[in-house]
Amino acid sequence: MPTRLNKYIANAGICNRRQADELIKAGKVEVNGATITQMGFQVQPGDDVRFEGNVVLPTYHYILYNKPKKVHFRRQEGTALTVLEAVKQKVEVIGVQDTEFMGLVLLTDDLDFKAKAEATDIPQIFKITLNKAFEAQEVSGFDKIGFPEDIASEIGLETLLSPDEVCARLKQLDYEVLKIDRVIYAGLTKREIPRGKWRALTSEEVIQLKFLKKL
């Protein structure tokens, strides 16, 4: 996904966007060996961007958030907190969410990564509470499913489906989802992330995500 050159430079932590405009006007920025003085120039993925001869690499944020039930994806009536307000970062949620599930949510300001992730089949594991006992013969359409002992209405579901798709599939089978908690997302777990807290992904985790199928 193309990025405005001033934003690209600002994302690298060199300066803010207004200062980046001045650097571009002064002819101090090169893209693929050519000096760029044009305002609004778009940097393409894979372009070689340099400031005063040094390679410029944008600094993006990749966040894993353990979402509580009371935090919503969109503004609700009253004083409900949204995901973006909770993490207090200029990032976006990966995936369009209608289901108000709990658990792991990925956020980033790397819009190219976000677009690719949303087009990728990402493995996920959910802990789901239903309004009635789940019948084992109805597992068609799901990948792997587990049944906790003595709780017939609670299931563990491993799938490539999104939370919205999971809820829609269960509704087709005449089940009401009372609670859905994403406990593992793309191999990432909630370990050491209390409910309502978040952490930045490590560089190794970001690399692993970028090598997922279709990403």
Model confidence over 122-163: pLDDT tens digits? Answer: 999 999 999 998 876 656 667 677 776 667 889 999 999 999
The maximal CA–CA distance of the chain, rounded, in angstroms, is 71
Report, in this order, helix, strand and coil percent for the chain, each rounded to 5.
Answer: 25, 30, 45
Query: Does residue 90 share a domain with residue 111?
Result: yes
Query: Does residue 199 share a domain with residue 115?
Result: yes
Model confidence over 23-35: pLDDT tens digits? Answer: 999 999 999 999 9
Mean pLDDT over each residue of the chain, to the nearest integer: 87
Query: Which pLDDT value is given to residue 214?
Result: 56
Q: Which domain holds residue 49?
A: 3-55
Q: Both tokens of residue 108?
A: 């980033």
Amino acid at 5: L
Coil, strand or helix at 122: coil
* pTM of the model as a whole: 0.75
Q: What is the mean pLDDT of residues 2-15?
A: 86
Query: Does residue 107 share a domain with residue 80?
Result: yes
In the structure, what pLDDT confidence band is assigned to residue 210 with cuts at 50, 70 and 90?
confident
Model confidence over 62-112: pLDDT tens digits? Answer: 999 999 998 999 887 666 789 999 998 889 999 878 888 999 999 998 888
Give me the helices (H) in 16-144, please: 17-25, 83-87, 111-118
Q: What is the CATH number of the domain that holds 12?
A: 3.10.290.10
Burial of 145 (0-12, 13-18, 19+ CB in 10 A): middle
Q: What is the mean pLDDT of residues 2-21?
A: 87
